[in-house]
Amino acid sequence: MTLPPLAEVLERLHVVALRLVTRFRGIDAREVALFEGPEGWTEFSPFLEYDDRESSAWLAAALEYGWSPSPPTHRERIPVNATVPAVPAASVADVLARFPGCRTAKVKVAEPSQRLEDDVARVAAVREAMGPEGRIRIDANGAWNLDEAEHAVRAMEHSDLEYVEQPCASIDELAELRRRIARLDIPVAADESVRKAEDPLAVARAGAADLLVIKVQPLGGVSRALRIVAEAGLPVVVSSALDSAIGLSMGAALAASLPDLPYDCGLGTGALFTEDVAAYAAHDGSLPVTRPVPDPAVLERYAVGAERREWWVERLARCHALLAGA
């Protein structure tokens, strides 16, 4: 893809701060940059703490989605999971009510300042709410060391876990944990070890994961993500990075283009916002493979102030320059 001029990108730029129903990843609002290309609306939304080098992959994804046709699809709807933040067990039912029709729940664990007992109670509450047929996966975002991870997985194994996502930070720890819990028949999924790695295939080569969690923006776009999946040779879950409706549709385009999709995808996170930029929500546990258009009134209502907008303009310009020099 030929890199579009920066001026063309900035011409239709909107930066919004979407409020979250429940605090998630330590934030109460999610800032995202949206702009329109020849193929439709697209999103650039690396988290605020990410540096320009890492963020440039997110811009590459946004530009590909806005300026290049999406690949052929294999399905018209994408099954999605519910996402349960690190809320008290008593709040689980209210969270799950925002995800009608979802048969799978991803539960955040290992939150700073919380205890393992909180995680066990939260997961047990999800199991009670979803019944024996529901699928439960947990996500620690690499927060546990090896011994903590083993202890935590054993403490929650009776909730019949579908898999445990990024329990430890390093590839070596993931590989050793897989060995330690092999008899429990609980797969290990890698997320950060793919999307934040210099070599996203290293975790697969090391035999450190049973499946990969794929997020289209951090990996540089749909085309590059498809190549990584093909080379890794492992089953994948397509997930979001707390994207707006526009970013979620990019993830749905990736999920739709995969030959096999054995797991429900983490693309239902629009339910975590009090209001999204477009009407693009899961119904009966699945998302349509479409390209939503932002509501102008919502773009205006949640627009950031001039100082924050300029921060994003400068960030986007720096990332654009990195891509131009690549």
pLDDT band at 281 (very low <50, low <70, confident <90, very high): confident
**Residue numbering of the annotated binding site for Mg(2+):** 139, 165, 191
Say whether 196 is catalytic: no
Tokens 């720890």, located at residue: 173
Choosing from 30, 178, 215, 291, which is the catalytic residue? Answer: 215
Q: What is the mean pLDDT of residues 283-301?
A: 97
pLDDT of residue 98: 93
List of domains in the chain: 6-70+297-325 (3.30.390.10), 77-292 (3.20.20.120)
Return the pLDDT at 235. Answer: 97
DSSP letters spanning 179-237:
HHTGGGT--EEESHHHHT-SSTTHHHHTT--SEEEEETTTTTSHHHHHHHHHHH-S-EE
Is a pLDDT exceeding 80 seen at residue 1?
Answer: no
215 is catalytic: yes
Residues making up the binding site? 139, 165, 191
- For residue 23, what pLDDT band results from cuts at 50, 70 and 90? confident
Judge whether residue 25 has pLDDT over 80.
no
Q: pLDDT tens-digit profile of 125-165? A: 999 999 999 999 999 999 999 999 999 999 999 999 999 99
pLDDT in tens, 213-266: 999 999 999 999 999 999 999 999 999 999 999 999 999 999 999 999 999 999
Looking at residue 52, what is its pLDDT?
Answer: 98
Tell whether the model's pLDDT for residue 315 goes beyond 90: yes
Kindly name the residue from 98, 106, 108, 291 that is annotated as catalytic.
108
Q: Which residue intervals of 12-91 are DSSP H helices? A: 52-67
Which three-class secondary structure state does DSSP give residue 140?
Answer: coil
| Span 288-303, average pLDDT | 98
Interior CA angle at 214 toward 208 and 217, to 5°?
135
- pLDDT tens figures, 67-124: 999 999 999 999 999 999 999 999 999 999 999 999 999 999 999 999 999 999 999 9
